[in-house]
Amino acid sequence: MNFYSLHKQAPEASFKDAVIKGIAPDRGLYFPESITPLPSSFFENIEELSNQEIAFNAIHQFVSDDIPNEKLKEILGNVLDFEFPVVEIEENVATLELFHGPTMAFKDVGARFMANCLGYFFEGETKEVTVLVATSGDTGGAVANGFLGVEGVKVVILYPSGKVSDIQERQLTTLGQNITALEVDGTFDDCQKMVKTAFLDDELLSKMQLTSANSINVARWLPQLFYFLFAYKQAKSVSKEIVFSVPSGNFGNICAGMVAQKLGMPVKHFVAATNVNDTVPDFMKTGEYRPKPSTATISNAMDVGDPSNFIRIRHLFQDNFEALSENLSSFTFSDEETRDAMKAIYSDSKYIADPHGAIGYLGLKKYYETHRETYGIFLETAHPVKFLDVVEKTIPEKLSIPGQIQKVLDKEKKSIRIKTYDDLKTFLMNR
């Protein structure tokens, strides 16, 4: 299958080329030329399938021209070696826990899938590829872990100084080897802008092979559809229409869920729950897309004022606002509301939610005000220990530190401070 640029000013690319390029030459995001629904029998019998079998069937049409079946099965075995449980919190409200992977965040799936794909594509190559990625929190750690030690691949991670949690920062600054962390004097939007600028810099591109590991990359974005299918598999027996509430920042996760829906997954509605960075909630009210500077919050992985993947969502619905509105609601919540939700969930269910999951819960409850008859699943995108300061100041419980977090706390942070795109370019040119 080929992928085309949403700007429509660049040649189509194979999956392999789209992954390696990251973004099209015309600055557009890549999008699959077709999404063919899976047979209804797949969904009827989904409870009998393993997670690897579900993922293979879901992703096969997008990658099969470039990755042989046996290799794809091997990659999925490497990626999906942890659990994705749906945990009931209260009647008709459950959470899909996506924090059981190596860096305890949902991004482990996309980052590891992309790392495995690039490792396969560059087997036997002499030319190195540099993976450039901006992070507002969890992406950096997941990408660093996924690509650590992958031959022929160097990773450069940009993150906003002082705007990620201590654990998140340590996960991306303590690994060494082929991973370099650049600490940017600015916001996540500044980091993301630098990455996008690098992809258009002809002088830089003539010197090195660059790709992105943000969710703009199809190999990071598409695998996220897997766990919506895993959740459906677990919730199918409830025999109610399912609503997914997704804490949303760059909107790649919820967009992948909508691709799962296009594949035929039965789902009633999606809720995009945001913090005060409310560009999309505003759009869903007015029909006008107006990016804004990002604002720092306690749910920092969603501090995004111009979400890159929202254009993919609009494209999925042919830019038909009415059709999109039937399928998507979007609500915005403050830090105070987030803390109150964390307290309420703990008080009522003894469940510890991280700030992002709490916003997903709030989005679901808001939707329930007018749609009580559904079964709601909110995504818990990171382990609460990754936001230790916020969680322990909000609920009366001391969290124990899991082993995969403890090992990074014992290591020394190493980062390089930069301020401008010129600083980034100088660093890359002189590597």
Which positions are annotated as active-site residues?
107
Judge contact between 18 and 30, C-beta under 8 A. Answer: yes
